[in-house]
Structure 1
Amino acid sequence: MAWQGSIEHPNLYATAVSIVDTLRGISGRLQHGDTQYMVHTDLAIRCRSLALYFESAISNAERDAYAPALGSLRSAFEHVFIDQLVFLGQRYVQVFRDVDEETWIEWQRQREAGERWTDVTDWSRSKGGIVRITREGLHSRSSEGGSRQTIGIHYFLLNEYSPFVGPPNIQQHFDDGLSEVMEREDEAKRHRYMHDTYLKWQSIKDSLKTNGFADDETLRRMDVHYRFLSAFVHPNTDAAQLLYGRNAWDWPVYDHYSSELTLLYAVVLAVKELRSFYAMTQRPPMVGISNWVEIERLCDKAWSLSSHFWFPGHEPHEYDRFQEANRRGFRGWRSGCRSVENPATLPTEEIGYYVNPLERLVRLHSSQSEMITGLTYRSPWHRSDAQFR
């Protein structure tokens, strides 16, 4: 029997399955020239690994298990933006703590003299002695023509960093008989430094901004999705009512909105990954992708089909303009001003972003009128159950 989600979201479901399948098989589309570069194969494997998370999320949604589905998408979310740095990153951020004034002055002298820090593009020191340094990525040796390839440090971290080492203070419990405890502690400190400097979410955001992939507003919007999806990895909140509706007692049960949200996340994240991967293939050393025009059309279709999601990179929906105009009207009402702005004329950059992606998606499906402002929203997908979910 067909999954109800494939019936209620036929285009979105078919597109999600198609684009995830494309992502999974991207390595088979690589068109190598006389020389096959291992970096292209390695990064195609990253795409295949990501596709498994999407497949798991869709499979769980088909079983009405939305919490595990969204938990898988939380891993996929972080995977996509780490990959953007791996595929395209040219710069990275380092943080040094407890740098005293004397050391800072000496570092500046060394940089001016060209003795050290020649790859630093920007740096600053706080009053507390924290130095933030922006550096260019690692470079390959120059070719005969004098050009060289810049490789983001995150590419090397994929093989260098291990999450299984553990913190320094537990190393005495894992004696291998071959190393001293101080050696294992030093190794644990090195891995902790790699994680804190490059791989934790704040560090990833810093690197995205440094590379020009996201501005502050985009990062704030990304945080909305990071927090939302993290709720299904860290089960600190009972999310059953959110996922299945206030009237659903015998869950898991099919839900129109949670199933749609799962598909939307799979689609937008897969598009981001494919576009980043393609941009990487257009940098030296270049590699072709067979039928890329076909894949590009699929990405464009998927991005357009999911535009009502208002994921970073999308435009706000009519509903979001309605909400922003209402918020302004409420503030005016409280201050004694009864004027109401036209939602359609509000500048796009001034439309406030949402807090909860699933709650917003439900409200998108409900036509509504606001008594205070007199504004009305007509949903293109009105459903009678949205108002009481």
Structure 2
Amino acid sequence: MSSSTSRNASLDAEIQQVRQLTRAMIDEYSAWGGKIAIGEIQQGMYDDVLDFLNFRVETADTCLWLLENERVADSLGLSRSLLEHHLLFLLMCRGRKYFRLVDLSGKLTEGQFKVRLREEKQKLKELKQAGHTKCLDVQKYPRGKRHLMYIFEGLNNPEEPDFVVPVHYFQFQQFRPEIMRLDESKYFQYFTRDADTEKALREHRDEATLNYKHYLSYDALLQCLALNDLADEQVVRRIEAHYTFLGKFLHPTHGAARELHEQNNIHYGGTEIGMRQPYSRTAELLASLYVAYILAGLLLEAACLIESAPSRYIRDAGTADLRALAESVDRRFPYFWFLFNDPPLYDRFNYCVSRATNEELEEWGSYKNVPNERVPFNQHIYSHFESSLGSWSNARCGTYASPIR
């Protein structure tokens, strides 16, 4: 058997294993509802959260269907949507902090803004000492020019201190894109509205725009994740890289799908569905791993939420089988560096070859022992992933063996 034939056989086997595990997670999630034992009180928030997740599992199932029908680029595009829902779901489950903004960009110079920020911090300190505010802190909003960001704790009932409802739970439920984007006065209406009604609708539209911009937009999700200590600077960088890569298959991007095919530099001309050349097995494996990792992240987040529910709401979370499957994704396929897992061996090896000194290598003993924080993420998702599937050797750092041999 030639080396290329052997490699393809290994890739085929790996692809099937990833998809089988993903299918097993979907099947177990479908059965999970019957294992959850409700407490003496049924809390609607948990039903709503699982209803949200039901549709994300449907999307993952669709991605699998696309991959089984050799629609790799379409699966990657749909995975971008799945990733964005994953970020939102993190905040819906654990987003304890939220913020309110005051826009001073058109009112103050940069110097005046800095003075105002110091004054607001002092005022807040005095109010907190007097017990007259629930605001935790005031900071400069990092994703705006001159915005004050007032930070608050999540919503809860004083009579239920063990039950907090994240603000994103409400923001997501209440958001309607048609209110934000469409001016009703420019579309068909049964009745002509008076000036007061039109003004109220404009204010409603402005409020929806503001909420989307600061809570539900992509930039807002990243800011809220950082605010809630759900994503540090390195995790945000990985989110940005994966989000951008997947976005190439969702938004018009020249050559994005072509690059995933075998012999993609050959142009035959004519008309057909996609390309004559098949998708590469590497692309199929990468797309399959995206579905597996995002789905596992969603399921683990849901498991944590149900497990942490007060016993009066949930007597038994029934998550043992679901958790076991979801947690196995990272252990079984550690060579894919996603959002929250540790740097894979290839990234450690590559870092040592390119950056580590002889003294550091001697201190670490092996490239496998490089401290996690020293290994930067590679933004070139596809080409880097392709390289990680090979075997490499280096005189200083030793040998890296393919994870799919």
The match for 2:348 among 300, 321, 339 is: 321
User: Are 1:6 and 1:13, in contact at CA under 8 Å, matched by a contact in 2?
Assistant: no
The 3 A distance-change label for structure 1 pair 244 and 32 is same
* AA of the residue aligned to 1:324: Y
| Cα drift, residue 201 of structure 1 | 1.5
The match for 2:186 among 173, 177, 186 is: 173
Following the alignment from structure 1 to structure 2, what is the Cα–Cα distance between the partners of residues 106 and 247?
58
Following the alignment from structure 1 to structure 2, what is the Cα–Cα distance between the partners of residues 85 and 346?
32
Corresponding residue for 1:246? 263
Matched, 1:163 2:211: no
Percent identical among aligned pairs is 20
TM score, norm. by length of structure 1: 0.83
Corresponding residue for 1:35? 41
Q: Deviations over 1:55-84 (max 9, x none)?
A: 111111111111110111111111112111
Matched, 1:62 2:68: yes
The match for 1:130 among 147, 165, 170 is: 147
Matched, 1:381 2:387: no
The 3 A distance-change label for structure 1 pair 123 and 251 is farther
SS of residue in 1 equivalent to 2:139? strand
Of 303-312 and 63-72, deviating more is 303-312
TM score, norm. by length of structure 2: 0.80
Of 314-323 and 227-236, deviating more is 314-323
* AA of the residue aligned to 2:170: F
User: Are 1:171 and 1:185, in contact at CA under 8 Å, matched by a contact in 2?
Assistant: no
User: Are 1:23 and 1:47, in contact at CA under 8 Å, matched by a contact in 2?
Assistant: no
Corresponding residue for 1:259? 284
Q: Deviations over 1:208-259 (max 9, x none)?
A: 1221212111111121111111111112232133211334864463531122
* AA of the residue aligned to 2:402: S
Of 178-187 and 68-77, deviating more is 178-187
| Cα drift, residue 369 of structure 1 | 4.3
SS of residue in 1 equivalent to 2:55? helix
SS of residue in 2 equivalent to 1:118? coil
| Cα drift, residue 326 of structure 1 | 2.4
The match for 1:343 among 367, 370, 381 is: 367
Of 193-202 and 292-301, deviating more is 292-301
The 3 A distance-change label for structure 1 pair 254 and 119 is same
User: Are 2:120 and 2:138, in contact at CA under 8 Å, matched by a contact in 1?
Assistant: no
The 3 A distance-change label for structure 1 pair 297 and 240 is same
The match for 1:20 among 23, 26, 29 is: 26
Matched, 1:362 2:386: yes
Corresponding residue for 1:72? 78
Structure 1: segments with no counterpart, 5+ residues: 383-389
Following the alignment from structure 1 to structure 2, what is the Cα–Cα distance between the partners of residues 380 and 28?
37
Corresponding residue for 2:247? 230
Higher relative contact order (CA 8 A, sep 6+): 2
* AA of the residue aligned to 1:244: H
The match for 1:301 among 328, 333, 340 is: 328
* AA of the residue aligned to 1:161: F
* AA of the residue aligned to 2:65: S
User: Are 2:261 and 2:278, in contact at CA under 8 Å, matched by a contact in 1?
Assistant: yes
| Cα drift, residue 271 of structure 1 | 1.7
The 3 A distance-change label for structure 1 pair 140 and 59 is same
Corresponding residue for 2:3? none
Matched, 1:112 2:117: no
User: Are 1:218 and 1:312, in contact at CA under 8 Å, matched by a contact in 2?
Assistant: yes
The 3 A distance-change label for structure 1 pair 348 and 120 is same
Following the alignment from structure 1 to structure 2, what is the Cα–Cα distance between the partners of residues 128 and 264?
38
User: Are 1:57 and 1:73, in contact at CA under 8 Å, matched by a contact in 2?
Assistant: yes
User: Are 1:197 and 1:203, in contact at CA under 8 Å, matched by a contact in 2?
Assistant: yes
SS of residue in 2 equivalent to 1:202? helix
The 3 A distance-change label for structure 1 pair 106 and 273 is closer
The 3 A distance-change label for structure 1 pair 364 and 344 is same
* AA of the residue aligned to 2:20: A
The 3 A distance-change label for structure 1 pair 255 and 288 is farther
